[in-house]
Amino acid sequence: MSDDLPCSPAKSLLADQGIEATQHISEGPSSASPYRFQTTTTLVSPTRTAPSETIVISDDSVATPTLQNQPLFSLRANPSATLSKTIDNMYENRRKWVWLSPSTWSFTIRIMLTLGEKLRPSDPLPPRNLLHSNVYSLQWRTSLTTKVDVSGLPSLSHALFLLNAASFHLGETYQLFDDQELGNQIRSFYANSTNNVDEHRLWFIKFLLILAFGAAFQAAPNDNKEPPGYKFFSRAMALMPDLGHMWKESLLGVEILAMAGLYLFSVDERESAHLYLVNAIRIAQMEGLHTQLPEKELGTETVAYCRDLWWTLYIMDRHFSSSVGVPMAVHDDDITTPVVSSEPDSVAQNVRSLQVNLSHLLSMILRTVYKPTKTPMGMFLEQTKSIIQTLAHHARDIERIVRHNFENSPGAVPRELHYLTMLYHQCVIVTTRPPLFSVLKQRLETLGHPDHEQCDIFLCQTKTIISTGIKSAAKTLQTLAKEYSMLEVFLPYDVEFTFGSALQLTVASAVFPNVVDYKWFRQSAQTTLNKLVDRGSRLAATRAAELQFLEELCDELALQGRRQGHRNLTLSRSSMISPDPATLSNGVDDNMIEHGYNSIVSDNDLHASDIDLPGSTDQDSLDSIGISAEDFFSIMQLIPNVDMSTESFLNLEL
């Protein structure tokens, strides 16, 4: 196909949704790479940078199969927008309903409801405790007249220890304070705690929030109704001034609101967390943090801190907004500040750039792929190609960081890189989830009528996408099982990574029973969640209960499908390799971990290499990645082109 053909309908549709040809942020950024038979499209980046090396796939590449004029898989007949879905509110507040927004949380509820309505029509609702799961009890009173009380604080040495704990766990991802400066301020405060404490009310609030995080990260498991660190958090919130006045506090106000939001998000108060974060972002914008501030007037250190603080807010916004399913508070086109300075590259700068890129990509996926509309199949495949192309570049960047900095290191990779690779796999999972759930819906809609089930053409178009998501979900659980001692108990992300991956495999088990050893991965996910529960995570207990309920529903669907004559759908011509039952009975250990992941079938169409084969020294340092850049470029070529004029749609309505 000639490169000078006019723009395809897919490209114009993608452009309408914010996907266009551009460069990426980089460690440096990876520039857009044209791929065979397609105009270059990559996700919009938050910043514009100079073009870097471009990868061109030559004409000798494997040709992409084209399927035209075929009756495509369709769940609805018409491309109009779908109605919003709501459920009755079961929380103790004045809301009459809960809007099931296009968020990661509501998607789980939608699956429960969809399965329940078909499999258990007399009692379709999930258990009440899954819909009304207040993880903790939070209450505080805010008053401007509340006098600052300095009693009940830890000793100076303990306070500095809690500061170091907060700094270690929040790390480079959440740069919400300068730990050295704050340490000096704490020493000064303890030396003169009775002098003018009311005049430094906002600083004291910040100090209490730091103590809350430090205590939360160090807390032992307990049965309290309140979350760890709450005695300091509630004191901070009681002193909080009216939000309408916080803008006067400049950067200090931004830090306080963002830290309050992060704490609330960590204890499963997502909506409240988002409200505090949005206020922090608005104050930051009033201070111009989203722009290139002048170093000459403000100083290099101040500008660098403002830049780091801004991108922390950006990462939080992408995650919080995705979690509650509302539009992002920050538009990329409004941002001009660079992600990192122009100084020589460092590991921290490279990791930071990738954190921003992947956070941006995850939000872009949820905003485009998960729109509550009936998406034309051709458009969905074009979107997926674009996303996979971007993921290929990010995989290459992660590979480079690992090879250059950790290949010969005797220690484990830092927390930031662990989080980065988990976020990378999360992007893969949410990208590949729609066709998997479409197959699930088709099975539910034709249950009892196996002759009406027609998935062959659809799977021919999407089996590579589905297989890729299953592999990333499996790799995520394998990595989390290996590194459970590194997992965060208070911050919620490892819990969510575990749950999201297990959800992907649980649904796959209902319709593709012979792709991986689901029994091993279910046990692995439950073991990881149970260990987090043992270490004090109530959120992990909630997710474990949700996962168990979903497993029961999916097992019931698989059983009914077999009894009613539905065939087992496959993604590969190979058969599954089962792990040794004796190994399974001994719990999760390293042999199980490697055996479990390598039990994924080798799909000849994926061209994906086994990444944990014994003796694979070149790959040992890249265990945390799972799917290489080369694999992704190959996968992209295997996604077929579809006639854009065909009236067929992929509907994500559940």
Q: Is the pLDDT of residue 592 over 70?
A: no
pLDDT band at 179 (very low <50, low <70, confident <90, very high): very high
Mean pLDDT of 22-38: 33
199 and 67 together in one domain: no
182 and 290 together in one domain: yes
| Distance of alpha carbon 101 from alpha carbon 94, whole angstroms | 19
Instruction: Tell me what pLDDT residue 166 has.
Output: 97
In a domain, 114, yes or no: no
Mean pLDDT of 383-397: 89
422 and 494 together in one domain: yes
Supply 394's token pair. Answer: 């990010």
Mean pLDDT of 429-453: 89
Q: How many CA atoms lie within 13 A of 491 on its CB side?
A: 22
In a domain, 111, yes or no: no
Mean pLDDT of 450-478: 89
Instruction: Tell me what pLDDT residue 247 has.
Output: 87
CA-based torsion, 631, 315, 360, 48: positive or negative:
negative
Q: Is the pLDDT of residue 11 over 80?
A: no
235 and 339 together in one domain: yes
What are 578-591's pLDDT values in tens digits?
333 433 344 444 44
What are 302-329's pLDDT values in tens digits?
999 999 999 999 999 999 988 887 778 8
What are 614-644's pLDDT values in tens digits?
233 334 445 555 667 777 777 877 887 766 5
Instruction: Tell me what pLDDT residue 265 has.
Output: 95
Please give the C-alpha separations between residue 312 and each of 183, 280, 344, 416, 472, in angstroms, as whole numbers. 21, 11, 21, 13, 26
In a domain, 366, yes or no: yes
pLDDT band at 33 (very low <50, low <70, confident <90, very high): very low
pLDDT band at 69 (very low <50, low <70, confident <90, very high): very low
Q: Is the pLDDT of residue 425 over 80?
A: yes
Instruction: Tell me what pLDDT residue 634 has.
Output: 79
In a domain, 29, yes or no: yes
Instruction: Tell me what pLDDT residue 96 has.
Output: 56
Instruction: Tell me what pLDDT residue 236 has.
Output: 94
Q: Is the pLDDT of residue 368 over 70?
A: yes
Mean pLDDT of 441-466: 88
In a domain, 102, yes or no: no
Instruction: Tell me what pLDDT residue 572 has.
Output: 66
pLDDT band at 545 (very low <50, low <70, confident <90, very high): very high
What are 89-139's pLDDT values in tens digits?
555 555 555 555 556 667 788 888 889 989 998 888 888 777 666 777 787
307 and 435 together in one domain: no
What are 153-170's pLDDT values in tens digits?
999 999 999 999 999 999
**DSSP class of 200:** G
In a domain, 403, yes or no: yes
Q: Is the pLDDT of residue 386 over 50?
A: yes
Instruction: Tell me what pLDDT residue 619 has.
Output: 46
What are 493-502's pLDDT values in tens digits?
999 999 999 9
Instruction: Tell me what pLDDT residue 102 has.
Output: 58
Domain end (from 347, 374, 395): 347
Domain end (from 347, 372, 398): 347
Number of structural domains found in the chain: 2
439 and 525 together in one domain: yes
Instruction: Tell me what pLDDT residue 104 has.
Output: 65
What are 215-264's pLDDT values in tens digits?
999 998 888 888 999 999 999 999 998 888 888 889 999 999 999 999 99
Q: Is the pLDDT of residue 87 over 70?
A: no
Instruction: Tell me what pLDDT residue 610 has.
Output: 36
pLDDT band at 575 (very low <50, low <70, confident <90, very high): very low
- If one compares 457 and 231, the residue with the highest pLDDT of the two is 231
pLDDT band at 26 (very low <50, low <70, confident <90, very high): very low
In a domain, 55, yes or no: yes
pTM higher than 0.75, yes or no?
yes
Contacts for 106 with CB less than 8 Å, ≥ 6 apart: 99, 100, 325
Instruction: Tell me what pLDDT residue 364 has.
Output: 85
379 and 474 together in one domain: yes
Q: Is the pLDDT of residue 61 over 50?
A: no
Q: Is the pLDDT of residue 189 over 80?
A: yes
314 and 456 together in one domain: no
403 and 445 together in one domain: yes
467 and 524 together in one domain: yes
Q: Is the pLDDT of residue 540 over 60?
A: yes
Instruction: Tell me what pLDDT residue 107 has.
Output: 76
| Distance of alpha carbon 635 from alpha carbon 463, whole angstroms | 11
| Distance of alpha carbon 392 from alpha carbon 635, whole angstroms | 10
Instruction: Tell me what pLDDT residue 331 has.
Output: 84
Range of the domain at 366: 9-75+348-651
For the chain, what is the mean pLDDT?
76
250 and 377 together in one domain: no
Q: Residue 26 forms beta bridges with which residues?
A: 29
277 and 203 together in one domain: yes
For the stretch 531-536, contacts whose Cβ atoms lie closer than 8 Å and that sit 24 or more positions apart, written own/partner, are: 531/484, 531/487, 532/484, 532/487, 532/489, 532/494, 532/495, 532/498, 534/221, 535/221, 535/489, 536/219, 536/220, 536/221, 536/222, 536/228, 536/489
In a domain, 541, yes or no: yes
Domain end (from 347, 366, 392): 347
